[in-house]
Amino acid sequence: MFHYWNPYFLIVLYVVLGIFLPVASIWVIGPILRPNKPSEAKGSTYESGLEPVGDAHVRYNARYYLFALMFVVFDVETLFLYPWAVAFKKLGMFALTEMLIFIVLLVIGLAYAWRKKVLEWT
């Protein structure tokens, strides 16, 4: 079993060290070295030197929303393709036909999105 788990144990160490580096440099070493003199002008939001107008936490057109939906569809497709590609040698012609049908169905979906102008950034 350790053959399987030990590499993941190493990855956990990567996570710990990846959190340690920013925490140590921003919260431990940084405060000793850097000045801290907050002022009203420094704390204002940057807007090209002008007085900031309103707030940025507003209802904003989430244009990436439709892309995110497309992403979910095609990312799941990619996920299905990975095990298929690994097992391709064993399954042979059967896997090829099955996957061609699968890809054709998704290409029809892509063509539909294309026609409906979902892929445009307007």
Residues that bind another protein (CB under 8 A): 2-3, 6-11, 13-15, 17-19, 21-23, 25-26, 29-30, 33-38, 40, 42-48, 55-57, 60, 62-64, 67-68, 70-71, 74-75, 78-79, 81-82, 85-86, 88-89, 92-93, 96, 99-100, 103, 107, 110, 113-114, 119-122
109 contacts 73 by C-beta, under 8 angstroms: yes
Q: How far is the CB of 47 from another protein (least distance, A)?
A: 7
Q: How far is the CB of 21 from another protein (least distance, A)?
A: 7
Q: How far is the CB of 110 from another protein (least distance, A)?
A: 7
